[in-house]
């Protein structure tokens, strides 16, 4: 009897060593493929340079979806575009902004998204400032002055230099003086806006209704030459964002009574109501095909740049990881699915639609790995409030090469994310979903939703790092003999409300947007 027990133990150890040896072989091949046969650069050029920005409702967004399906098909991976709603269709045309008086100069700026088109001749008008007022009645008395004018609705920045530049070169006294002056001006601007009876958003409709010829704004991103680019709020007149340097110049001219005159050509096409999609691809599992490992990244972007780091890099990571897994692990134990979500930027709409439409998949999720925030190597993984996340994430991370994991901090069990990116759609539904959070690379100031989010900002060494991490995590999650636990932590008492925090609720997507 003792000999039988001994034999069984030897067999168990041998099987365990065999499985470990197989895992090591697969992991080594994943690393080799990622480093020696990377497709990242060409995929990035095709997506960012060739197709460009991917604003929901634009032809470029649909082109990107079709491109991804074609790429997966080339790699032998089943893929499809899955419609989940509609959005206001719009296509950007030429934006050209010129100052005609008091001198001639072409200005740097762009039309904001979903803005109606001007004629080919554009709009020519004087640029004016919002007045200093003491109350809403005073503003209403002034409001007729906007008729036929371009109204500047953003404040004048105290400096076009980022704070880090001041910290490097300015004297301490000079830097402090600038910050005090900036704060005083900011408080005064907010107080004056309050005195108009409007907010910085609601005043736009009032100006348009009063006959303004156009709106000039500048959303500086606190970096050299960088502007945040979002959507317009006017229905008939052009809204353009001028880069800080030009906006400030026009503002100063108007403040001195120079009466600057601008010509704005901002052409675009309203395409009516168009379908919106998620691109879904999968490598079918063999032993447990109805259980899922999901790779996740939003496909859409704002369109000031080409959406390179938000979220072109996350998209490339998931596509390249799928390519490698199909080549190295063509028959995984569980189904490995990738979701390239639409309309994340307008409220996680694509992933929320998928969660709502596919409860049979969400209920059988082994793990979701989402990557979104920039081009940097992954440096943080949170357990998202799943009590036993450390057990399985820890097992999987243990197999990732140390030169990758040495950069990663983990936070277990963590707290559930209520938004921010698409992993939150799955967390809310109780599925173990994790954000592969990246090193900054000045993401918030320089590339997040800006005119500088372009291919040249991609750091491919870090993106390759993330491909290896993602592919290994997906492989380990797929092959794990154990199903992941969904047990949640008991959330703490909120310091803000004094009540116990609740798990984020699932939210329905906007399936008919921008209309």
Tell me: pLDDT of 13 over 80: no
Mutual angle of helices 2-36 and 460-479, in 10-degree steps: 150
Cβ(251)–Cβ(262) below 8 Å? no
Tell me: pLDDT of 175 over 80: yes
User: DSSP letter string over 61-74?
Assistant: HHHHHHHHHHHHHH
The CA distance from 221 to 229, in Å, is 10
In this prediction, residue 16 has a pLDDT band, given cuts at 50, 70 and 90, of low
The CA distance from 263 to 261, in Å, is 7
| Tens of pLDDT, residues 424-463 | 999 999 999 999 999 999 999 999 999 999 999 999 999 9
pLDDT at 1: 45
Tell me: pLDDT of 12 over 60: no
| Tens of pLDDT, residues 375-402 | 999 999 999 999 999 999 999 999 999 9
pLDDT at 20: 62
The CA distance from 201 to 235, in Å, is 14
Tell me: pLDDT of 9 over 80: no
Mutual angle of helices 313-328 and 2-36, in 10-degree steps: 130
Half-sphere exposure at residue 371, Cβ-oriented, CA atoms within 13 angstroms: 33
pLDDT at 51: 98
User: DSSP letter string over 96-153?
Assistant: EEEEEESS-EEE-EEEPBTPPPPPSS-EEEEEEEPPP-SSHHHHHHHGGGGTT-EEE-
Cβ(291)–Cβ(366) below 8 Å? yes
Q: State mean pLDDT over 56-81.
A: 98
Cα–Cα separations (whole angstroms), residue 392 to 20, 333, 474, 506, 515: 16, 16, 12, 25, 44
Q: State mean pLDDT over 300-322.
A: 98
Tell me: pLDDT of 229 over 60: yes
Which structure tokens are listed for 290?
A: 């109805």
pLDDT at 495: 87
pLDDT at 21: 72
Q: State mean pLDDT over 268-276.
A: 98
The CA distance from 456 to 447, in Å, is 11
Tell me: pLDDT of 25 over 80: yes
In this prediction, residue 2 has a pLDDT band, given cuts at 50, 70 and 90, of very low
Domains along the chain? 25-88+273-513 (3.40.630.10), 103-259 (3.50.30)
Tell me: pLDDT of 6 over 90: no
The CA distance from 372 to 367, in Å, is 17
| Tens of pLDDT, residues 101-122 | 999 999 999 999 999 999 999 9
Contacts for 258 with CB less than 8 Å, ≥ 6 apart: 102
Rg, Å, the chain Cα set: 26
In this prediction, residue 515 has a pLDDT band, given cuts at 50, 70 and 90, of confident
Contacts for 323 with CB less than 8 Å, ≥ 6 apart: 39, 75, 77
What is the average pLDDT value for the chain, to the nearest integer?
A: 96
The CA distance from 200 to 227, in Å, is 17
Q: Is the peptide bond before 109 cis (omega within 30 degrees of 0)?
A: no
Give the phi and the psi of residue 410 in degrees, each rounded to 5: -115, 155
Tell me: pLDDT of 14 over 80: no
Please give the model's pTM, rounded to 2 decimal places: 0.94
């Amino acid at each position: 009897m003792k000999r039988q027990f001994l034999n069984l133990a030897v067999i168990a150890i041998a099987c365990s060593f065999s499985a470990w040896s197989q895992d090591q072989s697969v992991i080594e091949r994943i690393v080799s493929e990622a480093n020696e046969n990377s497709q990242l650069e060409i995929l990035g050029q095709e997506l960012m340079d060739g197709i460009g920005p991917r604003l929901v409702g634009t032809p470029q967004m649909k082109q990107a979806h079709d491109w991804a399906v074609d790429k997966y098909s080339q790699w032998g991976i089943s893929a499809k575009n899955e419609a989940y709603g509609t959005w206001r269709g719009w296509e950007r045309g030429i934006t050209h902004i010129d100052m005609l008086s008091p001198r001639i100069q072409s200005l740097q700026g762009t039309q904001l998204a979903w803005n109606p088109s001007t004629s080919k001749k554009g709009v020519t008008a004087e640029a004016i400032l919002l007045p200093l007022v003491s109350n809403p009645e005073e503003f209403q008395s002034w409001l007729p002055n906007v008729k036929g004018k371009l109204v500047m609705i953003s404040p004048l920045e105290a400096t076009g230099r980022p704070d880090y530049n001041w910290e490097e070169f300015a004297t301490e006294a000079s830097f402090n003086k600038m910050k005090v002056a900036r704060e005083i001006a900011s408080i005064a601007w907010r107080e004056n806006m309050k005195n108009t009876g409007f907010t910085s958003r609601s005043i736009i409709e009032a100006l348009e209704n009063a006959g303004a010829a156009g709106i000039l704004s500048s959303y500086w991103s606190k970096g050299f030459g960088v502007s945040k680019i979002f959507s317009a709020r006017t229905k008939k007149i052009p809204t353009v964002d001028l880069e800080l340097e030009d906006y400030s110049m026009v503002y100063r001219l108007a403040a001195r009574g120079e009466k600057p005159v601008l010509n704005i050509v901002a052409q675009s096409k309203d395409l009516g109501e168009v379908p919106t999609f998620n691109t879904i691809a999968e490598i079918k599992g063999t032993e447990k095909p109805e259980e899922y490992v999901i790779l996740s990244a939003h496909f859409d972007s704002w369109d000031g740049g080409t959406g390179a780091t938000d979220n072109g890099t996350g998209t490339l990571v998931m596509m390249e990881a799928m390519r490698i897994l199909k080549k190295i692990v063509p028959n995984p134990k569980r189904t490995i699915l990738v979701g390239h979500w639409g309309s994340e930027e307008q409220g996680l709409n694509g992933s929320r639609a998928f969660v709502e439409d596919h409860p049979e998949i969400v209920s059988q999720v082994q793990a979701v790995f989402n990557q979104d925030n920039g081009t940097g190597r992954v440096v943080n993984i949170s357990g998202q409030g799943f009590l036993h996340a450390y057990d399985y994430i820890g097992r999987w991370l243990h197999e990732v090469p140390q030169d990758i994991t040495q950069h990663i901090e983990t936070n277990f069990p963590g707290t559930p994310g209520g938004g921010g990116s698409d992993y939150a759609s799955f967390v809310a539904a109780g599925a173990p979903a994790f954000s592969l959070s990246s090193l900054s690379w000045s993401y918030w100031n320089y590339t997040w939703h800006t005119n500088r989010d372009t291919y040249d900002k991609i750091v491919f060494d870090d993106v390759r790092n993330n491909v290896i991490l993602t592919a290994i995590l997906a492989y380990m999650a797929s092959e794990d003999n154990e199903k992941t636990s969904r047990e949640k932590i008991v959330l703490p008492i909120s310091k803000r409300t004094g009540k116990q925090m609740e798990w984020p609720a699932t939210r329905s997507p906007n399936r008919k947007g921008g209309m």
